[in-house]
Amino acid sequence: METQRCPLCGQPNPPQAEVCQYCQARLRPLWADSSSAPSSPPDNQVAKRSLPPESGEPLPPGRLSGMRSQIGTEESAQAEHPPQGVPPSKGTLESEDWLEGLFSGSSEGQAEDIPAWLRSLRGDSADKAERVEEPPMHPLFSASQPSVFSQAPQSKLELEGVSPPGEGEIGSGIAQEERPVPPFEGLDTFALEGHSFPGEDKLDTSTPLTAKEASPKSSPAAPSAEEDWMSEIPPWLETLPGQEWVEEESPEKAAPPELLHAAVPPFIETEEELSEVEFPSWLDEAERSIEPQLDTLIESLSPQTTEPSMGEKTPEGGLPQATAPFQEEALIEIAGPLHGLRGVLPAEPLVAAQTRPPRPIAELLVTEKQRAQAELFLKLIEAEGKPIPPPPLKRAKPHSFWRILIFLVLLTTAAVGLVIPPFAATPQELSVAVFDAMQAVGQLPGDATVLLVVDMEGGNFAEIQATTNALLDQMMIKGAFFVLVSTHQEGVLQADRLLREVSRLNGHRYQPSSGWVNLGYLPGGATGIQALSESLVELLPYTVEGKAAWQQDRLKNIRSISDFDLILVITEDSTRARQWVEQLNGKYTASKLLFAVSAQVEPVLRPYYEANPRQVQSMLAGIRDGAIYETQAARPGWATRFWSAYLIVVLTGIALITLGSLVYSISGLGLQKSSPREGNL
């Protein structure tokens, strides 16, 4: 957004503001009519100035455009390498036009209104003495003036066939008809060249190039003796706002006089061309006449003023402040509360005003790639705000058909295995685990007391019953008394059922109270087992029937778990099995600890069983060990009854798994071929 800075306080203000929002200073001149261009923001002006002139752009105002049109193709042909780094600034052009208007005005037959000082510009040599005392000239002139006395700019001045103000006047005094170029035109060119110094590419963006700023107030050049010829501004000129001069000039006025056009020398760009130039005689004479004055002037100037080196100029084109007091004498405030006053000190130090970055140049550095990236970034930001609809959930297809097929096959084979006579003998091989279990049971004394831990659910009841049938049968034969406890809620119910079923199937007459007591549920997991292992009687004093458990005759001698003749843990949960092993470790003799578990627990329990020393005396796992036990004990039971059916069902299961895996492997290979993905194999 464009803003305009207050000339008094330097604060930014909206472009339409009439007065400063901060100090209430007037921002626009009161007399500026609608036709006059308001003081546009300086940044904007700099941006316009920074743009190189193109064919489609409007021509620079004032005399420069006229000059360009007159030179025509010759100029364009010779200026193949124009000073692109420094295109003519608007402020410069405005300043030129302001002065050019004076000349153009004089060329239109207004000789009767022309004051004496102005006539001297036309070559009236009678006013030479007055010229020395002229006030400081226009800032652009003054800006270029020091370069006149420096090395390089002077040669350029000479190259272009123009003379410094003093020389111009001298030249004009020689012969008006022979004078090819108005002196200010030469100065104009010189001023432009002066801005093309290295380091001056960044134009003074801080200084608003309005009429006010184009005034000597902001001119950094030191006043010289040659500039004094403009010190006396006529009253009619003082009444004119400088900016309006520029804006109100007609295109016709901007064009230089016709008589000067023919004398415009061709552009000279090299020193070789320079050496070939033949200077007119009037120029030599003027040079000789002005040399003493120049010497005097140079001697009178301080080194700082006479040598306005490049380093003294700020990147924005600022000039040494030593010139400010001279120039401020000619200032006329055109805005703000001090409007109309002359010689007002600048409210804003030049140094502070010169620190603004050259924003327009940065804007021009945006490349196509950066622009594309910016557009992409904007698109990404826009896309982030838009809700992305989630991909439709891919619901798994029901696999009822295959599941039913598998179930029916297994059910059929199980029914066949149960219906047909046993076709397979139970395994006769005595495993080490079964042997150890049989040995442990065989070592039980008569009327032994066994702690029976039953941690299982109803789903595993059949397997557990097949596994433990022979084992419990052997204990019942020995007349063991069972104390039931469970860390699983349902285990309390299943424990009673298990003993009832084993008793019924094997012809025992085991009943609750007489054959076993159920202590019920032991909550707390590992905590409960540890508490049980160390304070059995205190922890579970009553049975599930509410009777005092340890008052029975068979349990009077039991005070801790070490008093039991055997502990048999029956479980289908590997975690519970591990907890019982861990918590009973060191609390109970491992040789009296037996496990009758589901087949799925066997791999977890085997490291304890195969440890040295053993943490578990024996381990019966699954229907196979139960069948072996029954065979070895010659007490056929559930395992023997189920064995044929189990065998055929297991083989059917193996066949289903193998066949299904093969089929799906083939189909999976097809899938992987169609959509390759990373795999381990």
Residues between 406 and 425 with contacts to other proteins, criterion CB under 8 A? 406-407, 410-411, 414-415, 417-419, 423-425
Interacting residues with other proteins between 286 and 315 (CB under 8 A): none
Q: Which of 398, 421, 442, 507 binds other proteins (CB under 8 A)?
A: 398
Dihedral sign for Cα 194, 200, 203, 205, please.
negative
Using alpha carbons, select from 175, 171, 173 the residue that is nearest to residue 187. Answer: 171
Q: Which of 130, 233, 496, 635 binds other proteins (CB under 8 A)?
A: 496
Q: How far is the CB of 439 from other proteins (least distance, A)?
A: 17
Q: Which of 22, 279, 377, 664 binds other proteins (CB under 8 A)?
A: 664
**Residue 283 or 537 with smaller CB distance to other proteins:** 537
Q: Which of 544, 593, 594, 619 binds other proteins (CB under 8 A)?
A: 544
Q: How far is the CB of 453 from other proteins (least distance, A)?
A: 15
CA atoms of 428 and 423, how far apart (whole Å): 15
CA atoms of 275 and 181, how far apart (whole Å): 20
How would DSSP label each residue in 599-635?
TTTHHHHHHHHTSSS-S-SEEEEHHHHHHHHHHHHT-
Beta bridge partner(s), residue 596:
570, 620
Dihedral sign for Cα 101, 96, 36, 229, please.
negative
Q: How far is the CB of 555 from other proteins (least distance, A)?
A: 16
Contact flags string 578-617 toward other proteins, x per CB under 8 A: xx-xxxxxx-----------xxxxxxx-xxx-xxx--x--
Using the rule CB under 8 A, is 552 a contact of other proteins? no
Amino acid at 555: L
Pairing of strands 449-455, 618-621: unpaired
Q: Which of 119, 500, 560, 591 binds other proteins (CB under 8 A)?
A: 500
Query: Token pair of 263, please?
Result: 């004398």
Using the rule CB under 8 A, is 647 a contact of other proteins? yes
Interacting residues with other proteins between 118 and 177 (CB under 8 A): none
Using the rule CB under 8 A, is 504 a contact of other proteins? no
Q: Which of 206, 207, 494, 506 binds other proteins (CB under 8 A)?
A: 494
Using alpha carbons, select from 537, 597, 596, 579 the residue that is nearest to residue 562. Answer: 537
Using alpha carbons, select from 358, 266, 335, 456 the residue that is nearest to residue 32. Answer: 335
How far is C-alpha 59 from the chain's CA centre? 44
Using alpha carbons, select from 541, 525, 518, 459 the residue that is nearest to residue 488. Answer: 525
Query: Token pair of 449, please?
Result: 């007391």
Amino acid at 293: Q
**Residue 338 or 492 with smaller CB distance to other proteins:** 492
**Count, residues near other proteins per rule CB under 8 A:** 113
Q: Which of 429, 442, 634, 676 binds other proteins (CB under 8 A)?
A: 429
Q: How far is the CB of 451 from other proteins (least distance, A)?
A: 17
Using the rule CB under 8 A, is 36 a contact of other proteins? no
Q: How far is the CB of 530 from other proteins (least distance, A)?
A: 5
Is residue 246 packed enough to be buried (19+ CB in 10 Å), middle (13-18) or exposed (0-12)? buried
Q: How far is the CB of 309 from other proteins (least distance, A)?
A: 54
Contact flags string 439-478 toward other proteins, x per CB under 8 A: ------------------xxxxxxx--x------------
How far is C-alpha 313 from the chain's CA centre? 40
Using the rule CB under 8 A, is 525 a contact of other proteins? yes
Q: Which of 371, 379, 403, 504 binds other proteins (CB under 8 A)?
A: 403
Q: How far is the CB of 538 from other proteins (least distance, A)?
A: 7
Let me know: does 526 contact 578? Beta carbons within 8 Å: no
Q: Which of 489, 551, 562, 589 binds other proteins (CB under 8 A)?
A: 489
Question: What are phi and psi for residue 79, nearest 5 degrees?
Answer: -95, 55
Interface segment toward other proteins; rule CB under 8 A; list 32-40, 204-212, 271-279, 533-541 = 533-541
CA atoms of 350 and 320, how far apart (whole Å): 10
Q: At what angle do helices 281-300 and 165-174 cross, to 10 degrees?
A: 150
Using the rule CB under 8 A, is 248 a contact of other proteins? no
Interface segment toward other proteins; rule CB under 8 A; list 291-299, 313-321, 339-347, 570-578 = 570-578
Q: How far is the CB of 479 from other proteins (least distance, A)?
A: 21
Q: Which of 518, 618, 632, 640 binds other proteins (CB under 8 A)?
A: 518
C-alpha angle 267/268/273, rounded to 5°? Answer: 145
How far is C-alpha 406 from the chain's CA centre? 56
Let me know: does 41 contact 206? Beta carbons within 8 Å: no
Interacting residues with other proteins between 615 and 634 (CB under 8 A): 615, 621-624
Interface segment toward other proteins; rule CB under 8 A; list 63-71, 251-259, 447-455, 646-654 = 646-654
Half-sphere exposure (CA, 13 Å, Cβ side) for 149? 30
Let me know: does 216 contact 330? Beta carbons within 8 Å: yes
Q: How many residues does the structure list for the chain?
A: 681
**Residue 100 or 463 with smaller CB distance to other proteins:** 463
Using the rule CB under 8 A, is 527 a contact of other proteins? yes
